[in-house]
Amino acid sequence: MMKRKLLFFVCVLFSMVAVAQSKEKVMVMDIKAEIDPRMLRYVKLSLEHAEKIKADYVIIDMDTYGGVLTDAKEIVDLIMDFKKPIWVFINSDAASAGALISIACDSIYMSPGASIGAATVVEGDGKAAPDKYQSYMRSIMRSTAEENHRDPRIAEGMVDERIAIDSIKQAGKVITFTTNEAIKYRYCEAKVNSIEEILSRNKIEHYEIDHFQLGATEKIIAFFLNPFISGLLILCILGGIYFEFQAPGTLFPIAAALVALLLYLIPYYLNGLAQYWEIIALFIGILLLLAEIFIIPGFGVAGIAGITLTVVSLILIMLNNDFFNFEFVPLGDIVKATFAAVGGITGGALLLFFGGAKLTQTKAFKKIALTDTQESASGYSVNAESKDMIGKTGITHTVLRPSGKVLIEGEVYDAFTRGEYIQKGEPIEVVSTEGVTLRVKGI
């Protein structure tokens, strides 16, 4: 009797293990926002995750009004190249670029009241884009529909209002299907209320769902892929460089500028927007500006070239251009990138002009820079030219970075070094006088 019970439990255990092992993996990803570089990166990471976990099926939970055509085309290519079935659940809207992505999927399912279509390419102001964009979109829609055995004329009719299709659409309007219409014209497999219903219709009973979400790092990267944030970072870069030169050696401003530069470049680089030549051009522009300010007297060719190169490279880094080929870069994206770059630089200039003086009055600035008034009653004095100071020794009264104060024979003088930093209390020797300031060296 005990042997039979033990055998029964062993069989049950093996059955449970077999069921667990036979569960099919279903990965769900969301396309519920504008199609842009952030969404493109999300889709790339989602499909990489699906391959990593060896998902049997991928389901896109979609609700979008579209977005950037070039990013949508790259998403379509990723979907078409994926080896496992990809289904889309249109949970409300799949308009414009969303319609294109849906047509690229192996199967389309729609919720009651959903819609698909209206794929005319529009500019940032909502007006139809030039015909070259429409022609490109028509060709992509047509070829994608043909690949998945859907009527290519209908796909074209979602883009071009001039196309007339018997019993489906008249000239003058683009196609936008309701759920029932999409089913009728084979642009939707079925009306469903949930992802679980899709799986049930496909006779998938034992499954586990993995809903892909971006990690904390990727969320940060997605956050910085935003022209407005990029403009603020440009402002921080300029402000950090300026204030570092105002108080050399403090390190914090230049560290803040470097962090802002990395946060500006890395997200665009990882998303394939920032090319090597654009980053190199940016650094060359910055170096030319620094040379103009600190090495070359006056303001000339180096300054103008530096400003031009810096501004242009900042704009190009944010755009999906192919070495100055802007054929399929929306005008709205160019305007946003230009405003972000020029706005950041203008804001930085205004900050330096109006905020520089106020910054010197803050407690934080006083901790890292010399802002006190040195009165003669406190032992401070100015060395007169008639007073021979060369060869005299003393100690540093403050840190020399490379300028500061020194104490010689009980009196405090303005002083600077040849470039080296000398800590407070270190011995020094006067090597020359320049006006009312002493040049010193450590001994």
Q: How many residues does the chain have?
A: 443
Q: Provide the sign of the torsion angle of the four alpha carbons 269, 272, 274, 280, taken in this order.
A: positive
Give yes or no for residue 147 having a pLDDT over 60: yes
H-only helix segments in 112-163: 131-147, 152-157
Range 333-342, long-range pairs (CB < 8 A, 24+ positions): 333/68, 335/124, 336/124, 336/227, 337/227, 337/230, 339/227, 339/231, 340/227, 340/228, 340/230, 340/231, 340/234, 340/314, 340/315, 341/230, 341/231, 341/234, 341/311, 341/314, 341/315, 342/311
The string of DSSP letters for 347-388 reads HHHHIIIIIHHHHTTSHHHHHHS------GGGTB----TTS-
Q: Which is more confidently placed, 352 or 151?
A: 151
Give yes or no for residue 211 having a pLDDT over 90: yes
Instruction: State residue 27's pLDDT score.
Output: 97
Cα 393 to Cα 441: distance, rounded to the nearest angstrom = 10
Paired tokens of 69: 């055509």
Domains, the chain, with CATH or none: 22-213 (3.90.226.10), 217-367 (no CATH), 372-442 (2.40.50.140)
Instruction: State residue 386's pLDDT score.
Output: 38
What region does 203 belong to: left with phi over 0, alpha with psi -120 to 50, or beta? left
- Measured between alpha carbons, how far is residue 341 from residues 123, 299, 345, 381 in Å? 21, 22, 6, 47
Mean pLDDT of 167-178: 85
| pLDDT category of residue 18 using cuts at 50, 70 and 90 | very low
Q: Mean pLDDT across the chain, nearest whole number?
A: 81
Adjacent-strand bridge partners of 403? 416
Instruction: State residue 160's pLDDT score.
Output: 87
Q: For tokens 């667990």, name the residue.
A: 20
Q: Among residues of the chain, what percentage have pLDDT more than 90?
A: 34
Q: pLDDT tens across 42-88, in order?
A: 999 999 999 999 999 999 999 999 988 888 999 999 999 999 999 99
Of 215-224, 331-340, 399-408, the range with the highest mean pLDDT is 399-408
Instruction: State residue 389's pLDDT score.
Output: 83
Q: Which is more confidently placed, 368 or 335?
A: 335
- At residue 16, φ and ψ (nearest 5 deg) are -65, -40
Q: pLDDT tens across 379-392, in order?
A: 555 444 435 788 89
Mean pLDDT of 277-301: 77
Burial of 324 (0-12, 13-18, 19+ CB in 10 A): exposed
Q: For tokens 């006006």, name the residue.
A: 435
pTM of the model: 0.63
Q: Is the peptide bond before 402 cis (omega within 30 degrees of 0)?
A: yes
Give yes or no for residue 405 having a pLDDT over 60: yes
